[in-house]
Chain A
Amino acid sequence: MSNLIASDILYSYSNGPVLNSLSIELIDGEITCLIGESGAGKTTLLRIIAGLEKQISGEIRIGNQVISNDDIFIDPHKRQVGLVVQERALFPHLKIIDNICFGLDDTKINKKSRAKYLMEIFKIEKYENSYPHEISSGEQQRVSLARALAPSPKILLMDEPFSSIDRALKFSLRQDTKKILKDEEITTLMVSHDFNDALEVADKLAIIDQGKIVQIGQPRDVVLNPINNQIKKQFLCETGDLIYWQSKIDEKNNL
């Protein structure tokens, strides 16, 4: 269990800044959902935290350890930050079991049992010896989640993890994912376009706009009390009115 603090992150492409003095704190074991329009810098932030891009300035810490600032840069493979991408990116030459074991230390005796445990949680045991192209996209996403969770990362980053999945399967996958993230107390940052994802899985909502986190808080507070009209518009565009979200939140609380 670790918290993550990113402060004053600046990143830009040739056509202008993407992240503009962005700061965010992820609390131990909490699931934070990052919401924002296309091009707001959501994926870039995930890539910077994972170490796949380096920010121009700013600092990132996991617990007490600085993993990236002007002087220090820890390579992605040493950060213990897991990544789940929208496209799943399973290794096509490896069987499902080997995909899940990929990030596990060879010396770990309980390597297989860890993989089998995760396969059971994500209900993919029967595909143990299949190859990625032999299973459906929903199952592939389950494998992708299991693979990222297998090495017990300190931080898990998920980029649109439920986006290309059948509606019927989405609900169960969200529940399974949330269960294991909570059981293992993994601090998570998830990017999603779907407010249902955010409401069902996240403990917090963070709104990113023009490269900055403009609002962060409990989903109820953010949805019902957006700090500006633009955020309000985003919610209204999604659903038509705020009453829908009120009922969704109440429904979730009752559950």
Chain B
Amino acid sequence: MKNFFSLFPTTLIGIFFSIPAIIIFLSLFQDFSSNWNHLIDTVLFEYFFNSFKLFLGVSIGVFIIGVSTAWIVSTCDFKGKDFFSWALVLPFSIPPYIMAYAFTGLFDSYGTANDIARIIFNLGEDYTFFPSVRSIGGAIIVFSFTLYPYVYLIAQNAFSNQSRDIFDVSRTLGFSRTKTFFKVALPIARPAIVASLMLVGMEVLSDFGAVEHFAIPTFTSGIFRTWFGLNDLVTAKQLASLLFLIFLILILIEKYSRRKIVYSSSSTSNRELIPTPLKGSKSILAIMICSLPIIIGFLVPFIQLLYWAIFHESSFINIELFYSIYNSISLAIVGGLFCIATATFINYVLRIKRSKYLSFINKSITSGYGIPGIVLALGVLNLFLVIDNYFNILLTGSLIGLIFAYMVKFYALPNSSIESGFKKIPNILDDVASSLGKPKNKILNNVHIPLLKKSFLIAMLVFMIEVIKELPITLILRPFNFNTLSVSAYSYASDERMIEAAGPSIAIVMVCLIPIIILIKFMRNNLNE
């Protein structure tokens, strides 16, 4: 009976979280409508090739930016290194679609950059100096400079954990620093880097805002067009299933890479790497390499947004903006609290039961992170339609559906923080508390929860960052006339009212910056500890 009370709710949560993905997947077994012929004849291959080109281009871009900066910050000592080590994470606060808006304003034919170029080089009014960013190349640049922090953070961690002895031995065996990087450091960090590239790939393939703004037909924009343009929800779901299958392959690659990390990190030596001091031109080169992603990925778009907001439109600070901020933050907090409660419950049950079944359930719940937002939104919408019809209530288009979708999508992030928090609490504390007469629920309340405070805070912060930036789920599942910051920015930008889009865009960046800075502070403190 005791087992029933712990296993039943966990199983129920697992089933409930999996239903949206199952619904989408099952659509593959429904009849294929005539729209499929139309899609195959016209745009399906374009969707596929564009998505593939983006995936490949961005993977190369983030690899070059993320790995080079991570290597420099981890293994070299130069002026400003401490600043760069955290500032390189700043582009995390700018979602790709906001960067796309800013870049459009900068590099469009009559954008700021072209205006400046025309003045400097005394060019004709029709002359376009910078090529259009509304292209696959432009999208690759936008994604690369906003998503490289995934690779940077993971690669930096991988490089910093490599042992000094391995580098020393390689050098005494005749390998220069550069050769040591390619032959030793990079192969050892490869599983971690591949895992981060898969995460970036998933973000790119599931993006809706940036590709829509650049008018690049990809799977996600195709799903939207099929649903709203052709008014064919089933075909949209079937397209979503295809995207989901691609994601499953990426997740499998990522899991396989992580499995290999265990081997790669089982180094026989753990002496810390001593950074090489850089002087003169080498130091300047390091500063330039580390500055570039911060300038392009954070400063340039942020300054463009500020320029719009300050010089063109001072009325962006209005009551609607405050409502959007309030809506975004309150949604993030409520969703975060539910996620933290769920993750705490499941990890606690896992701690006391240590069952493979529960571990499997928890893993399957976390896999929601790998489902593209648009796919998930479709699944949740279907699930709630069924519930509405069955119970004769109206959950569709309510905040419940939206919060549930956020939970399914981002549960993995708070869970990872809480899971590692639980792992840091020695089991002996439970035994001691038990021997002092505390029942299990008291041990959770009096021992675990006080020790998990930091994990809860980190869980809340990472969840908030993701929810505030999130666009497709919010766009599809939000209640009528309910605007968040991301939806406001998207609505203005889709009407080409870029100046009005600046207000909510700046608010997104600012609201995301606060938790990011707190998280960076935590990470640095942990490193020092």
Contact partner, B264, options A47, A83, A92, A140, Cβ 8 Å: A92
Would B176 and A77 count as touching, CB distance under 8 A?
yes
Q: Which chain A residues lie closer than 8 Å to B174 at the CB level?
A: 77-78, 80, 103, 105, 151
Knowing A85-B165, A131-B263, A133-B263, say if A90 contacts B172 (CB, 8 Å): no
- Cα A137 to Cα B266 in complex, Å, equals 12
Would B168 and A92 count as touching, CB distance under 8 A?
no
Q: Which residues B172-187 have CB closer than 8 A to chain A?
A: 172-176, 179, 183-184, 187
Would B171 and A76 count as touching, CB distance under 8 A?
yes
Does A93 sit at the interface, judged by CB under 8 A? yes
Contact partner, A85, options B168, B183, B188, Cβ 8 Å: B168
- Cα A90 to Cα B184 in complex, Å, equals 10
| Residue of B whose beta carbon sits closest to that of A137 | B268
0 or 1 for each of B270-309: is its CB under 8 Å from A? (1 = yes): 1100000000000000000000000000000000000000
Does A174 sit at the interface, judged by CB under 8 A? no
- Cα A90 to Cα B163 in complex, Å, equals 10
Would A52 and B165 count as touching, CB distance under 8 A?
no
- Cα A133 to Cα B165 in complex, Å, equals 16
Would A88 and B269 count as touching, CB distance under 8 A?
yes
- Cα A82 to Cα B169 in complex, Å, equals 8
Does A50 sit at the interface, judged by CB under 8 A? yes
Knowing A85-B168, A87-B163, A89-B168, say if A133 contacts B173 (CB, 8 Å): no
Q: Which chain B residues lie closer than 8 Å to A50 at the CB level?
A: 168, 171-172
Would A92 and B266 count as touching, CB distance under 8 A?
yes
Knowing A77-B174, A91-B188, A93-B190, say if A85 contacts B263 (CB, 8 Å): no
Does A171 sit at the interface, judged by CB under 8 A? no
Does A132 sit at the interface, judged by CB under 8 A? yes
Interface size class of A (residues with CB under 8 A): 35 or more
Q: How far is the CB of A191 from chain B (nearest CB, A)?
A: 14
- Cα A148 to Cα B169 in complex, Å, equals 8
Q: Which chain A residues lie closer than 8 Å to B434 at the CB level?
A: none
Would A89 and B165 count as touching, CB distance under 8 A?
yes
Q: Which chain B residues lie closer than 8 Å to A78 at the CB level?
A: 174
Q: Which residues A172-200 have CB closer than 8 A to chain B?
A: none
Does B170 sit at the interface, judged by CB under 8 A? yes
Does B76 sit at the interface, judged by CB under 8 A? no
Would A89 and B267 count as touching, CB distance under 8 A?
yes
Does B253 sit at the interface, judged by CB under 8 A? no
Would A91 and B172 count as touching, CB distance under 8 A?
no
Does A147 sit at the interface, judged by CB under 8 A? yes
Would B171 and A52 count as touching, CB distance under 8 A?
yes
Q: Which chain A residues lie closer than 8 Å to B188 at the CB level?
A: 91-93
| Residue of A whose beta carbon sits closest to that of B189 | A93
Would A75 and B176 count as touching, CB distance under 8 A?
yes
0 or 1 for each of A30-68: is its CB under 8 Å from B? (1 = yes): 000000000000000001001110000000000000000
- Cα A88 to Cα B175 in complex, Å, equals 18
Does A97 sit at the interface, judged by CB under 8 A? no
Would A52 and B263 count as touching, CB distance under 8 A?
no
Interface size class of B (residues with CB under 8 A): 20 to 34
Q: Which chain A residues lie closer than 8 Å to B163 at the CB level?
A: 87, 89
- Cα A153 to Cα B303 in complex, Å, equals 57
- Cα A52 to Cα B179 in complex, Å, equals 16
0 or 1 for each of A94-130: is its CB under 8 Å from B? (1 = yes): 1000000011010000000000000000000000000
| Residue of B whose beta carbon sits closest to that of A88 | B268
- Cα A50 to Cα B270 in complex, Å, equals 20
Would B168 and A83 count as touching, CB distance under 8 A?
yes
Would A93 and B165 count as touching, CB distance under 8 A?
no
Does A79 sit at the interface, judged by CB under 8 A? yes
Q: Which chain B residues lie closer than 8 Å to A147 at the CB level?
A: 169, 173
Interface centre among A50, A75, A92 (most CB of B within 10 A): A92
Does B233 sit at the interface, judged by CB under 8 A? no
Q: A-side binding surface: helix, strand, loop or mixed?
A: loop
Q: Which residues B339-365 have CB closer than 8 A to chain A?
A: none
- Cα A193 to Cα B333 in complex, Å, equals 58
Q: Which residues B238-271 have CB closer than 8 A to chain A?
A: 263-271
Q: How far is the CB of B241 from chain A (nearest CB, A)?
A: 37
Does A81 sit at the interface, judged by CB under 8 A? yes
Q: Which chain B residues lie closer than 8 Å to A90 at the CB level?
A: 268
Would B168 and A103 count as touching, CB distance under 8 A?
no
Does B166 sit at the interface, judged by CB under 8 A? yes
| Residue of A whose beta carbon sits closest to that of B176 | A77
Knowing A91-B184, A93-B187, say if A132 contacts B172 (CB, 8 Å): no
- Cα A25 to Cα B269 in complex, Å, equals 30
- Cα A144 to Cα B267 in complex, Å, equals 13
Q: Which chain A residues lie closer than 8 Å to B266 at the CB level?
A: 92, 132-133
Q: Which residues B184-200 have CB closer than 8 A to chain A?
A: 184, 187-188, 190
| Residue of A whose beta carbon sits closest to that of B267 | A92
| Residue of A whose beta carbon sits closest to that of B260 | A93
Would A52 and B173 count as touching, CB distance under 8 A?
no
Q: Which chain A residues lie closer than 8 Å to B171 at the CB level?
A: 50-52, 75-77
| Residue of A whose beta carbon sits closest to that of B179 | A77
Contact partner, B173, options A51, A137, A151, Cβ 8 Å: A151
Interface centre among A81, A90, A144 (most CB of B within 10 A): A90
Q: Which residues A133-150 have CB closer than 8 A to chain B?
A: 133, 137, 140, 144, 147-148
| Residue of A whose beta carbon sits closest to that of B264 | A92
A-B contact pairs, 22 of them (CB 8 A): A50-B171, A50-B172, A52-B171, A52-B172, A76-B171, A77-B179, A83-B168, A85-B165, A85-B269, A88-B268, A89-B165, A89-B168, A89-B169, A89-B267, A91-B187, A92-B267, A94-B187, A103-B172, A103-B174, A105-B174, A140-B268, A144-B169
A-to-B contact residues, CB < 8 Å: 47, 50-52, 75-83, 85, 87-94, 102-103, 105, 131-133, 137, 140, 144, 147-148, 151, 153, 157
What would 16 more interface pairs be, CB under 8 Å, given A76-B168, A87-B268, A148-B169?
A75-B171, A77-B174, A77-B176, A77-B179, A81-B172, A82-B173, A85-B168, A85-B269, A88-B268, A91-B170, A91-B188, A92-B267, A92-B268, A93-B187, A102-B173, A147-B169
Q: Sort A-B residue pairs by CB-CB distance and give the 6 closest, nearest first.
A: A87-B269, A103-B173, A89-B165, A83-B172, A76-B171, A133-B266
